């Protein structure tokens, strides 16, 4: 009999729902800082590589771009269009010609990006065609380094980072 009463009590407890008034609300959390905005920024520049400018040009990073010492600065060269979509190639980019090889390359400090042609001392830049020297379009992309590390982006593929950039 004790077993039957125990089983009935257990089933009664399991089958009964607890209802009643809602308890008091919990404490509000502490006010924190705003979240970090992990959005990259970019700008474009057109360069003519000539003997007059030493086959290089230094471009100032626009003041409207928030730049921090830890940000990653990348530079892409516009290759052309395929099926209506822009094609960009990450620098440094090596180009092979019948007269040897040269590179489109860049370096940057906090405020400036220098884009230049680089080649062995024996290379004659005068052998380059106008298509290789003049009206070269570059896109400089600034990405927060924490964002790049957290998302494991393929920075060599401009299309994979394009969605994270404010232009």
| More confidently predicted of 6 and 107 | 107
Please indicate, yes or no, whether the overall pTM of this predicted structure exceeds 0.85.
Answer: no
The two tokens of residue 57 are: 């040009």
At residue 156, the pLDDT reads 74
Kindly give, in sequence order, each residue whose CB lies less than 8 Å from that of residue 67, ignoring residues fewer than 6 positions away.
Answer: 61, 110, 111, 142
Of 1-5, 64-68, 79-83, 108-112, the one with minimum mean pLDDT is: 1-5
Strands 165-166 and 40-47: parallel
pLDDT in tens, 48-94: 999 999 999 999 999 888 888 888 899 999 999 999 999 999 999 99
First-to-last alpha carbon distance for the chain, in angstroms, is 80
Tokens 């089933």 found at: 11
Strand partners, 95: 102
Reported residue count of the chain is 167
| pLDDT > 60? residue 167 | no
| Backbone torsion region of residue 162, taken as left when φ is above 0, otherwise alpha when ψ lies between -120 and 50, otherwise beta | alpha
pLDDT single digits (tens) 123-149:
999 999 999 999 999 999 998 876 655
Q: Please list the helix, strand and coil fractions of the chain in percent, rounded to the nearest 5, in that order.
A: 20, 35, 45
- pLDDT greater than 60 at residue 34: no
Looking at the chain, the whole-number percentage of residues with pLDDT higher than 90 is 52
**pLDDT, the chain, mean:** 83
Given pLDDT bands bounded at 50, 70 and 90, which one contains residue 105? very high
């Amino acid at each position: 009999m004790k077993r039957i009463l125990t089983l009935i009590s257990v089933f009664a407890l399991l089958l009964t729902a607890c209802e009643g008034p809602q308890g008091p609300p919990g404490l509000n959390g502490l006010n924190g800082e705003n979240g970090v905005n992990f959005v990259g920024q970019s700008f474009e520049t057109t360069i003519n590589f000539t003997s007059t400018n030493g086959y290089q040009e230094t471009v100032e990073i626009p003041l409207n771009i928030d730049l921090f010492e830890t940000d990653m600065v990348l530079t892409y060269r516009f290759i052309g269009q395929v099926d209506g979509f822009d094609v960009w190639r990450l620098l440094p980019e090596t180009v092979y010609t019948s007269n040897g090889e040269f590179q489109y390359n860049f370096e940057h400090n906090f405020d400036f990006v220098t884009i230049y042609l680089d080649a062995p001392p024996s290379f004659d830049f005068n052998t380059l065609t106008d298509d290789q020297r003049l009206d070269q379009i570059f896109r400089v992309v600034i990405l927060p380094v924490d964002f790049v590390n957290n998302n494991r982006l393929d920075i060599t593929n401009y299309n994979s980072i394009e969605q994270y950039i404010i232009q």
